[in-house]
Structure 1
């Protein structure tokens, strides 16, 4: 183990000494004109900035970023009491590739575990929270698979094509976002193109990707459409297998906006994907060894929203109707019929949020929504649930400080009422130093599967968490150096675990011969996040992100009490640097990610080794309309699994072109 770690560090040191790197300049990249945030509303913390002609930054200094993740209304990122990372379209172009986990690696506190190659199931851990405890939004729509046991989102089905912006809020924030926001919130926004953008890419393992975006953006209206296709022959999902398991996905989406008056506009978004993932299983005759099979899964995903935005004077309102649906079908060509089983989950949501600017820099945000979910499967008849919610946030956004506190009440058709509280603050103590702190509560409603499936338990109550963090940020007077440090802790209780009923016929196992779900778990995650971004000149960009996360089972009396939670490496370091050469604007760079070992199981008996991933990248612009780019992923061909028994992706080379008009 120590030899492996020394080898990893040796690779990183050699690369640092010899190769220009490429950055993920999270909150500091200058976005393209289409991605530039809209003018800030009153009360956003931006109205005290000087006019544009007095505040023009150097080309390498970022404009102020705006987010809605902190309070539900638009707010400057540097006024939020919670840590928020932002990646723009330029960051995504610089990172390159068809695997979205490579993008998420550029955010502190994020780790992942996947079941094989690209397209295989991929779960995200944010500050040690389960993937199902992280809320994921596409264009403001919750897109979790409500038919899955934990009702999480499979990040293996997400590609960067058509995405314009990524925002990640780290820490519990259910007071604004409701169920599932225990570990944090991840939000992506699709592209509103003004013109045409197209790209094609190919490379190792039969990988090909093509993306097309086109749109028109005017003062009174805008519309855009995006489409893409990704395919790869892949690798064997089973580490012991020899047959590659491929992935193929079609994607189409669109968005539009029209201003009916100066104060009122209508907006619509939609996204649809169809994917096919080859999977491995447990073949005959023993059905006990994970190995090559001919099975595959088809996944159909739809999400969309129709809404209205009103803004006049001190009042801002947003309302709409959203729909999200996921259907999963698993096939085995060796059987008749070949359809083994299937699941379908649907979520509908009606919402209204608003913000009022009060005198003396005070603000009042409020909102309410009603969600209807349903699921069915080959083994379970259709089940339904309703969740009605309302929240109110009162805050103050002054010239050098901001404070807010909020309360939320949820009413569920099965478990009843749940109340959530949160508060945070930020203060600029000098022109260069900002302090922030937050307290947030999170909850996750039991899923339809946990309530109503063959294994269901209708006595379940929500999982809950209390989250604390504090941080400090430094920005140099010229804006070229930014440093940040955050400490945090999250205590979770009432965690829902699967309970085996083998040999037990009484108590909770009555009439459940196989097992059921119960609120029996507790856990604690605490850690440190360090961030550094440096632009010594306009030709260099450097970043380093370090996370220490200790996630531990704290269930009293449990056999695994005190053990580390599975598949959570405690130490993760990501460094990125890129350099613009004098050769026709050629940009060369690399990313290096180091992570420590972790455990694959709750008993901490099977260790997953430490590892490193290094990517070399280059891009060459031809005017303002064409880029040619290439990269080598996993340069040192490191094979460290994120889930035991599953295959890992080795070295690969890729190249492509991107056209803008």
Structure 2
């Protein structure tokens, strides 16, 4: 059991300058997209956002996106075994289905899932160049599911001229991780294409098992942008994942089995961008498409025993009017058609819905250093009717960005999933959307000419009409309400150019407020109260780069009744890289350095100490 001393955590949060991920990643001149849907300087944003940039992702050398997210404040995760197994993210204690996930601007939450959640298990870092994590409800811009927050992942944009990058890594359990991409620009055309391949013998997903559960994953991405004129451009993006996983049966306690899961995930974006009136009126119209195909086999080599496919086709229009340099009006219309199909166990099912949405958001700077944002959104769902959400935030700096005071209020909603609405045995067409109200107050303080930054945020979120299975009616119902409150701290130090130290701490008190005697007041499952992450990287004068990350997570429970405890844990990892000539690099890392025995989901296995080595080439 790992016990956190609250005094130690508070001391870390107040005495160590921490900020998100790299010493430059949260400066006032950094640009974020997730907050308003357009590029915006950080010091205009009142919401809490963490950035994992390309340098951070490269330095950390994690194969799995979840391992990167676990080092950011407000994030709790669980994984059911070997790499590739189901992995879920909770933001600020919200349900894992209340995290909205974007890949290159496309919503990828699965309409065929029970709660429209996103399985992070198949999302590896090979093609990912940047991650933005927005914490707090933000449905005005992004619509359904943005109750806990948003995880937005982006692939790299094409390079000027020509560029190529390739790497390969091999290590524990016969694991191979390789990727390559090429990009370039010529005249009015720029493009990038990349691919990543991962395979491993894995570990036993069942904690009591002895049979390893292997995994294979191929991911490909492509971007093409064509300037059709001075103010008109075509933007095409694509992302694809093919995955093959051996997993242990979860019907009852996890145990060794021959079960296999296969996934094909398709993500596409086609957009036109038009600027009018010298760029003071910009327009974006796009069609996006996401499809998840999941097949499950009791025995490999046979026909699939059951499967799901979920598709989301969307049309988006967004306009941005800039009547003055201190004001912007963002408005838009979206049409979305989620659908799902199921087969197996002697039956089939197909369902779909239509959602039409309009929104408007204003951003003004009435005074030097003050930025105000506010907006409204209305969504009309073909089943449950309408939902209106509001949001507003402010950012004030009295000293040109050295100090930023932040305030944020956001409303969120989550539409019932197609399964929850229409399943033949448990569906309920009278379901209402889940609703939330989220409040933030924070401060960012830059010190020593930007070599240190302290960021503190306090938050509160209340969620009502939360959907859960009702054991009295044997259908889904709006029977839950929850409350989450807490504090997040990020600090960063760059005392010299060669040394970069980052850390984060978050306290999350997430509890059931449903009024049901068995659960009311209990902590929500798999949401530890305390978590700390500390990373340090040093670039030596002779070319060697070394780094280490320590992550500590408090005790939690695996169930709503708080009867199944999960002990806290501490994980340490080290990494190094060394250049060989101008274009090549040798890399190495060791995960779980001290071979900690831990679990993020009861009765599921986790990796012990594991070492990897690799090479990288850039041109």
- TM-score band w.r.t. shorter chain: over 0.9
Return the alpha-carbon distance in structure 2 between the equivalents of residues 624 and 437 of structure 1: 46
**1:180 shift after superposition:** 0.4
Which of residues 374, 382, 387 is equivalent to 1:418? Answer: 387
> Does 1:228 pair with 2:199?
no
Partner of 1:16: none
Return the alpha-carbon distance in structure 1 between the equivalents of residues 87 and 407 of structure 2: 31
Partner of 2:515: 556
Which of residues 473, 478, 489 is equivalent to 1:530? Answer: 489
Greater fraction strand: 2
Return the alpha-carbon distance in structure 2 between the equivalents of residues 612 and 568 of structure 1: 16
**1:163 shift after superposition:** 1.1
Residues 145 and 415 in structure 2, CA contact (< 8 A), matched pair in contact too: yes
Return the alpha-carbon distance in structure 2 between the equivalents of residues 189 and 599 of structure 1: 33
Residues 269 and 306 in structure 1, CA contact (< 8 A), matched pair in contact too: yes
Residues 212 and 228 in structure 1, CA contact (< 8 A), matched pair in contact too: yes
**1:130 shift after superposition:** 1.4
Return the alpha-carbon distance in structure 1 between the equivalents of residues 19 and 214 of structure 2: 28
**Structure 1-normalised TM-score?**
0.88
3-state secondary structure, aligned to 2:527: coil
Change (3 A) 1:259 1:27: farther
Return the alpha-carbon distance in structure 2 between the equivalents of residues 632 and 477 of structure 1: 33
**1:409 shift after superposition:** 0.5
Partner of 1:394: 362
> Does 1:372 pair with 2:330?
no
**1:306 shift after superposition:** 0.2
Return the alpha-carbon distance in structure 2 between the equivalents of residues 624 and 130 of structure 1: 47
Residues 25 and 541 in structure 1, CA contact (< 8 A), matched pair in contact too: no
Residues 286 and 316 in structure 2, CA contact (< 8 A), matched pair in contact too: yes
**1:294 shift after superposition:** 0.3
1:482-497 matched pairs, under 5 angstroms: 482-497=453-468
Change (3 A) 1:266 1:427: same
3-state secondary structure, aligned to 2:305: strand
Which of residues 497, 514, 533 is equivalent to 1:574? Answer: 533
Partner of 1:600: 558
Residues 20 and 491 in structure 2, CA contact (< 8 A), matched pair in contact too: no
**1:558 shift after superposition:** 4.2
Partner of 1:78: 43
> Does 1:326 pair with 2:283?
no
Residues 95 and 102 in structure 1, CA contact (< 8 A), matched pair in contact too: no
Partner of 2:95: 130
**1:63 shift after superposition:** 7.9
Residues 25 and 91 in structure 1, CA contact (< 8 A), matched pair in contact too: no
Return the alpha-carbon distance in structure 1 between the equivalents of residues 154 and 585 of structure 2: 23
**1:209 shift after superposition:** 1.0
Q: Which is worse superposed, 320-329 or 448-457?
A: 448-457
3-state secondary structure, aligned to 1:176: helix
**1:103 shift after superposition:** 1.3
Partner of 1:463: 434
Return the alpha-carbon distance in structure 2 between the equivalents of residues 226 and 63 of structure 1: 32
Return the alpha-carbon distance in structure 2 between the equivalents of residues 586 and 93 of structure 1: 15
Return the alpha-carbon distance in structure 2 between the equivalents of residues 621 and 78 of structure 1: 36
Residues 412 and 436 in structure 2, CA contact (< 8 A), matched pair in contact too: yes
Change (3 A) 1:265 1:305: same
1:587-623 Cα deviation digits (max 9, x unpaired): 1110000110001100001110010110001011234
> Does 1:317 pair with 2:283?
yes
**1:145 shift after superposition:** 1.1
**Structure 2-normalised TM-score?**
0.94
**Uncovered stretches (5+) of structure 2, i.e. residues with no partner:** 13-17
Residues 550 and 564 in structure 1, CA contact (< 8 A), matched pair in contact too: yes
Q: Which has the higher contact order (CA 8 A, sep 6+)?
A: 2
**1:83 shift after superposition:** 1.1
Return the alpha-carbon distance in structure 2 between the equivalents of residues 543 and 217 of structure 1: 35
Partner of 1:476: 447
Partner of 1:177: 142
1:502-561 Cα deviation digits (max 9, x unpaired): xxxxxxx3xxxxx21000000000000011111000111111100000100000234200
> Does 1:547 pair with 2:518?
no
1:604-643 matched pairs, under 5 angstroms: 604-643=562-601
Residues 23 and 452 in structure 2, CA contact (< 8 A), matched pair in contact too: no
Partner of 1:52: none
> Does 1:104 pair with 2:69?
yes
User: What is the Cα-based RMSD across aligned positions, in Å?
Assistant: 1.9
Return the alpha-carbon distance in structure 2 between the equivalents of residues 190 and 590 of structure 1: 25
Change (3 A) 1:29 1:349: same
**Uncovered stretches (5+) of structure 1, i.e. residues with no partner:** 14-22, 31-60, 502-508, 510-514
**1:317 shift after superposition:** 1.2
1:221-268 Cα deviation digits (max 9, x unpaired): 211111111001111111110001111011222011011111111000
1:438-468 Cα deviation digits (max 9, x unpaired): 0000000000111111221100010000000
Partner of 2:257: 293
Return the alpha-carbon distance in structure 1 between the equivalents of residues 455 and 135 of structure 2: 14
Return the alpha-carbon distance in structure 2 between the equivalents of residues 632 and 445 of structure 1: 42
1:430-469 matched pairs, under 5 angstroms: 430-431=399-400, 432-454=402-424, 455-469=426-440
